[in-house]
Structure 1
Amino acid sequence: MLSLRERKKEETRRALSRAAAELLLAEGTENMTVAAIAEKAGVSTRTFHNYFPRREDALLLFIEDTLDDWCRQVEDAPEDEHPLDTMHRLIGDRLSDGTHPEDAPENPGTLLNLMTIGDHLSAVAGVKEKARVQHVADGLLEALYRRPGHGMSRQGVALLLISSLAAGALAVEPARQNSSTAECGSIPPWAWPSSGPQDAPSRLEESFRLLRAGFGG
């Protein structure tokens, strides 16, 4: 149990993290200054630096918290739910209000916006920062692997996880093309969906249908 002081510190830390993410999405990299983040969270710049060395560290916390939340949801999933169905559900929940950039400009938790945050971090993160994210991602993989009854190897679960995340990325990529805050995307132009379902939930359904069918192989 955290003390009242510790809870307040944790609340401030996460408020700064969310403020950084919201500013990046709403105003872009240049306007996501430490001063702007602190003002949005209602604290001083000195307080910001009590919690984070740089603005990107606040963004990293947001991504880490998101992956931690996914780990908890995987652990709490019904015992008879296949890991692929679990990932389909978790990613589908993140599509809410994320079909178009204008639908959720200040909600950093949508898949669309998480990808934009991830693009920014990929461009500026160093070895230590990437190792932090990898550590939490490894926890998600481990949580999926521990699911009962799937009979897959760890390599198989890793492929399932990577494929699921790719399915989510393909679902929202067309909307990212029109986003003014999107940086270097993770999906090359030749892979953007050009036919078939044109809304994000339907594209996600189609991708997971293919995954379940094993591409007909």
Structure 2
Amino acid sequence: MAVNDALSHREQKKEETRRALARASAELLLSEGSDGMTVAAVAERAGVSTRTFHNYFPRREDALLFFIEETIDELRQQVEDAPEDEHPLDIMQRLVTDRVDDDGTVSDDPGTLLNLRSIADHLSYITGPGDKERVMHIADGLLDALHQRARGTMSRQASALMMVSCLTAGAIAVESRAAEKGSDCMVMFPSWASTDQSPAEVLDEGFSLLRTGFGR
């Protein structure tokens, strides 16, 4: 094997390990909470030693930040690669509802938008000022892609409002089921999400209201 090929393979393996550790951190945060997301548990889940973890990330929070940034970049690419005639709101509906189960359970996949929001919310509470600033701007790339997709029909601020509203619509659709199971909720008052409708019906209604401007 040529030297360059060996270096390339080594770098690829290192990147795979970095991604595995970051994903394991996100998965454990969602399933076990912050207390269960120890460095030892993350390393075990990724199949490496704790020493290896620290070769890649100084802290657990750095692994979570890396995971969110990498995943948001992948979502940004999905927006850019969407069909030319697909409206930003339709793209967001597709991304928000991706892998939300019929019973309203958010997928265990930490890379869904709703789970990313939960991870970012957690980081905003536990990190220092520097990291908080990083979290605040973590979705800027996705926002820019949505704004560009609007092709001048929305300001950047309006695009941000649309993005946040779509995330809230998705959260409300799953909150009543989460509250029933005793899970953490992403909206301020979970009782607001109480309904006899299915999560799919709540999602459809929410995005319909976003399209019509709440009847105005």
**TM-score between the two structures when normalised by the length of structure 2:** 0.85
Specify which of 38, 45, 61 is matched with residue 33 of structure 1. 38
- What's 2:120 paired with? 118
Q: Which residue of 1 aligns with 2:23?
A: 18
CA distance in 2, matches of 1:176, 1:30: 20
Residue equivalent to 2:192: 192
Q: Does 1:8 align with 2:20?
A: no
Deviates further, 2-11 or 158-167? 2-11
Q: Is the 8 A contact 2:176 2:190 kept in 1?
A: no
- Over 3 Å counting, the alpha-carbon distance change for 1:21 and 1:73 in structure 2 is same
Which among 60, 73, 78 is matched to residue 55 of structure 1? Answer: 60
**Deviation of residue 108 (structure 1)?**
2.1
1-structure distance, mates of 2:177, 2:112: 12
Q: Conserved in 1, the CA contact under 8 Å of 2:96 and 2:114?
A: no
Contact map agreement 2:95 2:113 (CA 8 A) in 1: no
The answer to whether the Cα contact below 8 Å between 2:118 and 2:186 also exists between their aligned partners in 1 is no
1:181 is displaced (CA, Å) by 5.9
**Residue of 84, 94, 97 corresponding to 1:79:** 84
What displacement does 1:180 show? 5.4
Please say which of residues 144-153 and 163-172 is displaced more in the overlay.
Answer: 144-153
Question: Higher relative contact order by CA 8 Å / sep ≥ 6: 1 or 2?
Answer: 1
**1:216: which partner in 2?**
215
Structure 2 unmatched ranges of 5 or more: 1-6
Give the Cα–Cα distance (whole angstroms) in 1 for the partners of residues 79 and 60 of structure 2.
Answer: 30
CA offset at residue 187 of structure 1? Answer: 1.2
What is the deviation of 1:94? 3.9
Match of 1:132 in 2: 134
| Deviation larger for 72-81 or 153-162 | 153-162
Single out whichever of 116-125 and 134-143 deviates more from structure 2. 116-125
**Post-superposition shift, 1:87?**
0.5
- Say if 1:98 and 1:111, in contact at 8 Å, map to a contact too: no
Shift in alpha-carbon separation, 1:62–1:200, aligned structure 2, 3 A: farther
Deviations 1:74-101 (A, max 9, x none): 1001111111111011111142477236
Q: Distance in 2 between matches of 1:139 and 1:6?
A: 26
Distance 1:216 1:193 in 2: 20
Matching residue's letter, 1:169? A
**Segment of structure 1 superposing worse, 22-31 or 38-47:** 22-31
Q: Which amino acid aligns with 1:17?
A: A
Whole-Å separation in 1 of the counterparts to 2:14 and 2:99: 27
User: How is 1:132-171 mapped onto 2 (pairs within 5 angstroms)?
Assistant: 132-147=134-149, 149=151, 151-171=153-173
Structure having the higher Rg: 2
Please tell me the residue identity of whatever aligns with 1:82: H
Q: CA RMSD in A?
A: 2.4
* Distance in 2 (alpha carbons) for counterparts of 1:161 and 1:16: 29
Equivalent residue, structure 1, for 2:97: 92
